[in-house]
Amino acid sequence: MRLNEETEVLVDKLAIRKNIMTLGALAKNISGKPEDLEIKFAVKFKNKAETRILPLPITDTSVDEKGNYVGYAVLEYELDALFENGDLNEFQVLVQAYNKDGYENIVVDNMNFNQVKDENEYACLLENGVIVIRRKKPVRLRKSNWLISLLCSLYRIAEFIIGTLLIPLFLLDGVYVMLLGYRRRFLEETYGGSQLKRTLLFAKWRYSAFCRLTINMATVKRMILNITASILTIFCRKECILFVSSRREDLTGNIAYVNEVLQQKNAKVLFWLVPGKTKYIPFKKVFSLAYKIAKSGVVVVDDYTPVLNDIWALKHCKQIQLWHACGAFKTFGFSRIGKDGGPNQTSRNHRSYDYAMVSSSEIRRFYAEGFGIDEENVKALGVPRTDDFFKEDYKIKIRGELYEKYPVLKEKKVILFAPTFRGNGAGSAYYPFQRFDVESLLSGLGDDYMVIIKHHPFVLESHPVPESIKDRVLDLSKESEINDLLFITDILITDYSSVIFEASLLDIPMLFYAFDLEEYTVNRDFYYPFKNFVPGKIVRNLEQIQEAIHNADYEQEKVKTFKHRFFDDLDGKSSERVADFMLSLLK
């Protein structure tokens, strides 16, 4: 199939073995310019009730005998993890390729299905260019049965009680194994530490195996939360909206903006803002969360919130993901399947959301992909915290406060350097400081330029600033809110940070310092081809940054189109739309 004048795409592999489907697709650039091809594939799976979008990542590239660039994508999909309702009796497989105007389906007309073995339980058909998978012997879907659920719960409780009563026996077993020489070495290598510690850990392992339960502090607290919330749900009216966050303890961000509107509408609102991992949460806070879940008909989160994973009582609530970022830029969640640091296909993370809020209709499919939910459940109602970008009095207020706090910025041209981190997350985050030598940059610019450095919160180290330019550089990485800094910014230098969406609302000129673009694309990847996506000039070194600033060459004309592409409504009323939607669910 011809995707455009320069690119041909083809689905060239389909194999199903047991519960694994292997899909392969190929893209060939026939323009004679290999650098022009930045192809992206995705797969949309559809059964009668659900739609699931998953990535199909490029895994290999080459150049054929005619000099054409060829990109090959392949991934194994676990069928049992595709749909929430588990219906695999019949479903469509739509392989899609990204074109300039979005994803379009690849018409499959000449595919060889011989790789799908007859002994498999699935039959593969082509219907109007679409791959259709059918079970040869349809399976009756299991419906929820309260009696079976009750019996299963009672069985697990009995298993737990018996396992607890057997703990002394498990401890004796640990002592017995320690006394055996050939098994003692195994315990020493496995657990380490003192003999007492090794014995206790061995008993814990036996207990966990018997109860089929991983025993640690996080598991215990989640069990308490589950049981308490389930019992309280029987007695409580679900009349509240509950905001839960594991990343903040103060009322800020999207939560604060929506809460303000809800308070004006006299809604009953509860908060549970406790940062940190589940195992460190005090028991008092666990019981508090259980009580608040029981009283709430709508539960709202603003980021990944692991404390809510597998909470039974949430099935009686509507859970909303009020994601903290605007637009769709770097891949996240299930969009990172097949990449380092990406989730397993069977992961339950994010998939419990009933709805997710985004800034524009165009990006609904990407959030559906990242969260593993149906695209229909992603609502383009806006990002509440952007409402301030449409309030002139707020802008004036923030500028005044910043100039009062940092008077050195007055009458200066402010360059905001706000890159994202490198690494796989908070534990390994860093930025290669040597790639942004702020002294070299300023040496080629006039004295009227100031630089504000704002690194990602995951980057703990401070950017080195020589003493000779301390009066021209402010490192506000740990002090100021980045959105506020945009109100005094004349030029934004970033790389792959989502701050570009907020900057576009203020029409700020942008430079994209992408010195490691190819490496970052392989490790993290984007939802759009980077070179055709960003609303500014791409630069690769400090010299190009200086040249762009001297010539005022920011490719500023891209900003307006970008802004209207990623924000459906530029009216400053996102908080009100989101609040009204929550109240409609509560009713």
Question: What SS3 string covers 110-178?
Answer: CCCHHHCCCCCCEEEEEECCEEEEEECCCCCCCCCCHHHHHHHHHHHHHHHHHHHHCHHHHHHHHHHHH
Is the pLDDT at 355 greater than 70, yes or no?
yes
Q: Nearest to residue 82, comparing CAs of 25, 126, 122?
A: 122
Q: What is the pLDDT of residue 99?
A: 78
Q: What is the pLDDT of residue 230?
A: 87
| CB atoms near residue 287 (< 10 Å) | 16
Alpha carbons 68 and 166: distance in angstroms, whole number: 67
Strand partners, 61: 71
Q: What is the pLDDT of residue 110?
A: 64
Per-residue model confidence as pLDDT tens digits over 439-462:
999 998 989 999 999 999 889 999
Is the pLDDT at 98 greater than 80, yes or no?
yes
Both tokens assigned to 342 = 């990406």
- CB-CB contact of 78 with 71 (8 Å): no
List, in order, residues 6 or more apart from 230 with CB less than 8 Å away: 312, 313
The average pLDDT across 16-25 equals 89
The average pLDDT across 290-314 equals 91
- Name the CATH architecture for the domain at 217-385: 3-Layer(aba) Sandwich (3.40)
List, in order, residues 6 or more apart from 282 with CB less than 8 Å away: none
- CB-CB contact of 521 with 530 (8 Å): yes
Alpha carbons 312 and 226: distance in angstroms, whole number: 6
Model confidence at 107, pLDDT cuts 50, 70, 90, reads confident
Asked if the domains at 217-385 and 392-566 fall in one CATH topology, the answer is yes
Is the pLDDT at 235 greater than 80, yes or no?
yes
Alpha carbons 357 and 583: distance in angstroms, whole number: 15
Model confidence at 102, pLDDT cuts 50, 70, 90, reads confident
Is the pLDDT at 30 greater than 90, yes or no?
no
The average pLDDT across 102-120 equals 70
Model confidence at 223, pLDDT cuts 50, 70, 90, reads confident
Helix, strand, coil percentages in the chain from 3-state DSSP, rounded to 5: 40, 20, 40
List C-alpha distances in Å: 223 to 219, 246, 311.
6, 18, 9
- Name the CATH architecture for the domain at 392-566: 3-Layer(aba) Sandwich (3.40)
Alpha carbons 217 and 227: distance in angstroms, whole number: 16
The b-or-e profile of 175-210 (16+ CB within 10 A means b, else e) is eebbeeeeeeeebeeebeeeeeebbbbbbbebbbeb
List C-alpha distances in Å: 281 to 164, 292, 305, 381.
24, 16, 13, 33
* Nearest-5° Cα angle at 370, 143 to 109: 80
User: pLDDT higher for 269 or 197?
Assistant: 269
Per-residue model confidence as pLDDT tens digits over 562-582:
999 999 999 999 999 999 999
Model confidence at 548, pLDDT cuts 50, 70, 90, reads very high
Identify the residue whose tokens are 């588990």: 86
Per-residue model confidence as pLDDT tens digits over 488-541:
999 999 999 999 999 999 999 999 999 999 888 877 888 888 888 899 999 999
Q: Nearest to residue 106, comparing CAs of 94, 124, 114, 115?
A: 94
Q: What is the pLDDT of residue 562?
A: 95
CATH of 7-135, one of 3.40.50.720, 3.30.420.40, 2.60.40.10, 3.40.440.10: 2.60.40.10
The whole-chain average pLDDT of the chain stands at 87
Q: What is the pLDDT of residue 183?
A: 58
Is the pLDDT at 359 greater than 60, yes or no?
yes
pTM here is 0.84
- CB-CB contact of 455 with 463 (8 Å): yes
Is the pLDDT at 182 greater than 60, yes or no?
no
Instruction: Give, as one character, the DSSP assignment of residue 535.
Output: S
Q: What is the pLDDT of residue 146?
A: 59
E strand segments, 145-266: 240-245
Alpha carbons 542 and 441: distance in angstroms, whole number: 6
Instruction: Give, as one character, the DSSP assignment of residue 361.
Output: G
Q: Say which amino acid occupies 363.
A: I
Per-residue model confidence as pLDDT tens digits over 36-91:
556 789 999 999 989 999 999 888 888 877 778 888 899 999 999 999 888 999 99
Alpha carbons 100 and 533: distance in angstroms, whole number: 10
DSSP secondary structure letters along 495-506: SS-THHHHHHHT
Q: What is the pLDDT of residue 145?
A: 60
Strand partners, 415: 451, 491
Q: What is the pLDDT of residue 191?
A: 65
- CB-CB contact of 70 with 64 (8 Å): yes
Residue extents of the structural domains in the chain: 7-135, 146-211, 217-385, 392-566
